[in-house]
Amino acid sequence: MKFFIITRDDYDYDEYDAHVVRAKSKEDALKICDDEAFTKENSTIKEVTLEGGAGIILSSFNAG
């Protein structure tokens, strides 16, 4: 299994703009997030590796 960060390019208040999921592939990651607002067309999916130093993996701030 791999870790993926899925972020939306367009979002509004009181909506998710990102998910971190564990899946076998990018396609499976998108299915696992199970949110109709996340589509192949409006989302970016990046694999996260465990290599590297300490740091923030995902920060998400949406004022409501």
pLDDT at res. 28: 95
Contact of 42 with 20, CB cutoff 8 Å? no
Kindly state whether residue 26 falls inside one of the protein's structural domains: yes
Chain segment 4-52, per-residue pLDDT in tens = 999 999 888 888 899 999 999 999 999 998 788 999 999 999 999 989 8
Kindly state whether residue 20 falls inside one of the protein's structural domains: yes
pTM for this predicted structure: 0.85
39: helix, coil or strand?
Answer: coil
13: helix, coil or strand?
Answer: coil
Kindly state whether residue 54 falls inside one of the protein's structural domains: no
- Return the beta strands (E) in 1-64 as ranges: 2-8, 18-23, 43-48
pLDDT at res. 30: 93
pLDDT at res. 63: 73
Backbone torsions φ then ψ of 52, nearest 5 degrees: 110, 175
Contact of 2 with 45, CB cutoff 8 Å? no
Kindly state whether residue 27 falls inside one of the protein's structural domains: yes
What is the tally of structural domains in the chain?
1
pLDDT at res. 27: 94
56: helix, coil or strand?
Answer: coil
- Note down the domain range covering 15: 2-48
